[in-house]
Structure 1
């Protein structure tokens, strides 16, 4: 009698496990479908290797299968699809998580399908996904959405790009030292090098050095470009 009870309990346990397994498979199948059919490019980017996984939407909108991405290398893939002028967006995202693991990082950039010449605008966000044993970020989870096709009007797209440029310029300004920000703000106000030197009790040569360093850090070619960038970031 005891053996029959034990066998009955064992069979019931097997039945319960089979039901749990079926439910788990159903959930996994559902979640997999959501990930691959979501109207957004989802991918994992390793900080050392670049893109190492992507969903089906990413493959369809950019023309590269995951196996092709792995074969060509995750970083080479990003260089192929992202507009030359926007290469700093994925680079800055990776650099951000090499030194900081907190808030999400986002940006707007252009990318194109491998069989097309025209670039499309995307807005993307990333957050840390997994970490190494020492706590450093290993890879990041990224989500990019085709921005141009989601806008009702061209004015909305222009406004979004202006906001993105403003935020990008603010990040550049944050790389400046406090004294450099002071000097830059005075330059935006139209003050000459000599006037800035007198007001800050600095030598003419020191202010000139600050101007050169500011221009180098902001990546501008002349004072006019430097002033435009600074004003777009809210200075002056």
Structure 2
């Protein structure tokens, strides 16, 4: 005996689809609320930095740590904001990060710097990391995703602070060495091995004038005034 099949009416189908959509929407809203809470409550300053405009978005932790709301920052300008909160001696850190991503090679950027709350006089130590976040139509980096962690509560001893500064200086020096061309690195490596200008010229089949010019350019790029400082700097980054 054949069973009678009851077909669902179009109205019932539409009603079920609507319920499914509403359920998915509720789950999505719940997920978004959870992620938003995590971003704003994580114990680190998270922000988006435009290479031309400076900071364009930040989480609540960033606002509370440094005393400026996102509205305040956008009103004064993201670049001016960095000048207000970052220690004068550490202004090179945000500047270096911009320069690094304007010549991006795939390596991400990190650094140690001091910053302070707008209503306080004392600066606190932060370690920060950046990651290429958005690019333009030509593939050039346009925005960075940055995370800064306050290290001051962990800096219990002078030894820890000195070590942190040493690592920061080492990182900065490595970035400087990235500005050297392949031939310059080759010559610098030979200088570190104690070779004279003449010996380097003979080994690389170059003129004395060419090697002398390369040496002068290397010292200019690395900011050293004598061979001893040049070799010491190079050895800190693993050359020689």
Q: TM class by shorter-chain length?
A: 0.7 to 0.9
Structure 1 counterpart SS, 2:121: coil
TM-score by length of 1: 0.82
Distance 1:188 1:128 in 2: 34
Match among 126, 129, 133 for residue 129 of structure 1: 133
Cα–Cα, structure 1 residues 4 and 213, in superposed 2: closer, same or farther, change >3 Å? closer
Indicate the RMSD between aligned Cα atoms, in angstroms: 2.9
| 1:29 matched residue in structure 2 | 33
Query: Does 2:49 match 1:68?
Result: no
Which structure 2 residues correspond to residues 1-236 of structure 1 after superposition, within 5 A? Answer: 5-100=9-104, 102-151=106-155, 153-177=157-181, 180-181=184-185, 196-201=196-201, 203=208, 209-220=213-224, 222-223=225-226, 226=230, 228-235=232-239
Deviation at 1:45, TM superposition (A): 0.7
Cα–Cα, structure 1 residues 219 and 118, in superposed 2: closer, same or farther, change >3 Å? farther
Structure 2 counterpart SS, 1:39: coil
Cα–Cα, structure 1 residues 74 and 169, in superposed 2: closer, same or farther, change >3 Å? same
Distance 1:118 1:145 in 2: 17
Cα–Cα, structure 1 residues 170 and 131, in superposed 2: closer, same or farther, change >3 Å? closer
Distance 2:35 2:131 in 1: 20
Cα–Cα, structure 1 residues 3 and 182, in superposed 2: closer, same or farther, change >3 Å? closer
Cα–Cα, structure 1 residues 8 and 136, in superposed 2: closer, same or farther, change >3 Å? same
Cα–Cα, structure 1 residues 87 and 197, in superposed 2: closer, same or farther, change >3 Å? same
Distance 1:227 1:200 in 2: 15
Distance 1:4 1:126 in 2: 55
Distance 1:186 1:33 in 2: 54
In 1, are the aligned partners of 2:46 and 2:148 still within 8 Å (CA)?
A: yes
For these two proteins, the number of residue pairs brought into alignment is 229
Structure 1 counterpart SS, 2:149: strand
- Which range moved further: 46-55 or 155-164? 155-164
In 2, are the aligned partners of 1:183 and 1:196 still within 8 Å (CA)?
A: no
Cα–Cα, structure 1 residues 179 and 125, in superposed 2: closer, same or farther, change >3 Å? same
Deviation at 1:11, TM superposition (A): 1.9
Distance 1:119 1:143 in 2: 18
Distance 1:213 1:67 in 2: 45
Runs of at least 5 residues in structure 2 that lack an aligned partner in the other structure: 1-5, 202-206
TM-score by length of 2: 0.80
Cα–Cα, structure 1 residues 178 and 19, in superposed 2: closer, same or farther, change >3 Å? closer
Deviation at 1:182, TM superposition (A): 6.1
Runs of at least 5 residues in structure 1 that lack an aligned partner in the other structure: none
Distance 1:84 1:225 in 2: 25
Structure 1 counterpart SS, 2:25: helix
Cα–Cα, structure 1 residues 33 and 8, in superposed 2: closer, same or farther, change >3 Å? same
